[in-house]
Amino acid sequence: MTTTLDFSDVRNWLVDPRTDKGIRFLGDEGDWDYHSYADLSLAARRSAAAMTAAGAQPGEVVCLLMPTSYPTLCAYFGAWAAGLTPCMITPPSLTSSTEYVELVSSILRRAQPVLMITTERYQDIADSALAAADLPGRAFLHREAEEPVEVPKAGPDDLAILQFTSGSTGVPRGVPVTWQNLAVNVSCTRAWSDWSEDDSVASWLPLYHDMGLVGTLLAAVCNQADLWLMQPAQFLRDPGRWLECMTRATITAAPPFAYEYAVERISAERIASWDLSGWRTAFVGAQTINPAVLDRFVQATAAACFDRGTLTPAYGMAETTLGVTGTDHGVPPLAVQVRPDTLRFGQRVELTRQFHLGAEPVPTRNGWLTGCGGPRLGTRISIVDQDGVELPPGHLGEIRVSGETVTAGYTNDADSGGTRFTPDGLRTGDAGFLHAGQLFVLGRMGDSLKIRGRNVYVEDLEAAVVEATGLSPSRCVVISAPETERAGVLLLVEGGRRGWEESAYHTLRSRLGAEPRIRFAVGNRGVIQRTTSGKPRRRDMWQRLQEGTLKASIVEPEVPA
């Protein structure tokens, strides 16, 4: 099957939809509600007519505050059918209403939508966010007109979607994605998955996140592939429903924590009752990938005939539409062990061991990284030093990306934080190196500290603390907390002080040496703030701790004798 899509192919399904394939939505009672692409196309074009009647004009932005559902897709693709640019907004979660309204209003100020489309359930909070953003009118309740519109033509440089970054390093920023950007990125997904006419997709990922939106929903819809769609809460309640989908679907995507969560929550007997031999591609991304997590998943699903070559580690971000790199289809992930004392920016990284998953067990101790493959279809990655000079393979530096999948910049000249658009490409703010033709990602450059010229990454410190203390990875986070005279780290733990302190102190001190300051902070469950992709918002949490607005108590650890 041809890998590359033309920009017009991405939306052609709206005018030539299939009747024999479509989308299934998981209901609250465990049943699946099916709608063909022909059904969706007609409903989308009727939704478009309602938006047009409300005053929306081609080229304008509409924001959607709606949960994963059939009406949401009717509204989203209705925007396409009307020539509008849709933008998904995170539905309310466990955050306070005040914080949520502040988040949504900041997005609205940048997006400047002509309509904010929502449901009756969210209308009040949507109205509050519009008022806080100083935008006139009330939220638009999704509806369909009787007569559908005709889908207007679009050019490759017209905007297809507006997506916001996950905000791991600050306020979310709007990223306008063109039809050409989207076509190239969906084509890359087809290449990494060796896409065929018989492929189908399953996903529980939120539609306001780039992996859920571009990597699963749009990858399926633009190819008119069968899609099984769940809400994130349904996955959290029973991750087995996701894996059960993979007895029928062939492609999915999720962060590493989802694969670990599934293994922890699903019984071995239930897994053994499934046949996962038809599962062809399991994209893994959105956060640093620990190969031990993948190894545990492979072992847990072996009785269901899961093939380790199905695992496809990948790297990407909203600023590049989504995917930048991915591993070759069918090849087990490559795991490497790094000498920590060689992690010096601009210098060669020394590896002590490497093997493909399955060749030997992956040790649980820290220091291991997973290869995220390489780019496709003209996308280029390079590793550069602080001055933007390209470094040789094997050297640690900042990841830079160029090619047609890279977007043009942020809306309203938003502050770029650690990620910067430059004439030479996108400076991602992520640290990594190239080895054996693959990209290895260490983490955010801002989420690290320098000890005697060596970069220490907080993800590695977290892994070491989890191993030494038994703390849950979802209940602790290490934050770089520099001071004027010296470096420092803060270990934030949910759930109180329960005997982990001494082990955590010894672990951090052994890796940081005698100079940096080590402090602990303890708070109730939910105190660790995360982005929509599950990444800790480290710098934001540290700032709020300094301001006294984060409900956690800083404690100086007792130095063991």
Residue 15 domain-assigned? yes
**Residue 415 confidence (pLDDT) above 60:** no
Domain with residue 25: its CATH number is 3.40.50.12780
Residue 229 domain-assigned? yes
Which residue carries 């939910």 as its tokens? 526
pLDDT digits (tens, 9 = 90+) for 85-111: 999 998 987 556 888 898 899 999 999
Residue 424 domain-assigned? no
Residue 474 domain-assigned? yes
- Average pLDDT of the chain is 90
Mean pLDDT of 524-553: 77
Mean pLDDT of 203-216: 95
Residue 344 domain-assigned? no
pLDDT digits (tens, 9 = 90+) for 248-281: 999 999 999 899 999 999 999 999 999 999 999 9
Least confident of 18-32, 115-129, 547-561: 547-561
Beta bridge partners of 421: 426
Residue 330 domain-assigned? no
> What pLDDT sits at residue 446?
63
> What pLDDT sits at residue 530?
84
> What pLDDT sits at residue 169?
47
pLDDT digits (tens, 9 = 90+) for 448-507: 676 764 667 788 899 899 999 999 888 899 988 765 456 788 899 998 777 899 999 999
Of 199, 230, 248, the domain-final residue: 248
Residue 70 domain-assigned? yes
Domain with residue 475: its CATH number is 3.30.300.30
**Dist. CA 324–CA 304, nearest whole Å:** 31
pLDDT digits (tens, 9 = 90+) for 20-45: 999 999 998 899 999 999 999 999 99
Per-residue pLDDT band at 3 (split at 50, 70, 90): low
**Dist. CA 473–CA 478, nearest whole Å:** 11
**Dist. CA 495–CA 434, nearest whole Å:** 39
Structural domain total, the chain: 2
**Dist. CA 480–CA 538, nearest whole Å:** 8
Q: Give the largest CA-CA distance in the chain.
A: 78
> What pLDDT sits at residue 429?
84
Amino acid at residue number 468: A
Percent of the chain with pLDDT over 70: 92
Q: What are the Cα distances from residue 311, in Å, to 47, 215, 288, 479, 549?
A: 38, 15, 15, 30, 41
Of 210, 229, 248, the domain-final residue: 248
**Dist. CA 519–CA 160, nearest whole Å:** 46
**Dist. CA 145–CA 200, nearest whole Å:** 31
> What pLDDT sits at residue 95?
59
In terms of residue numbers, what domain contains 17? 9-248
**Residue 445 confidence (pLDDT) above 70:** no
Query: From the CB of residue 514, how many other CB atoms can be counted at a distance below 10 Å?
Result: 5
Residue 240 domain-assigned? yes
**Dist. CA 530–CA 542, nearest whole Å:** 13
> φ and ψ at 415, to 5 degrees?
-60, 130
Most confident region among 84-88, 165-169, 545-549 by mean pLDDT: 84-88
> What pLDDT sits at residue 484?
41
Tell how far CA 114 is from the center of its chain: 27
Of 213, 248, 283, the domain-final residue: 248
**Residue 552 confidence (pLDDT) above 60:** yes
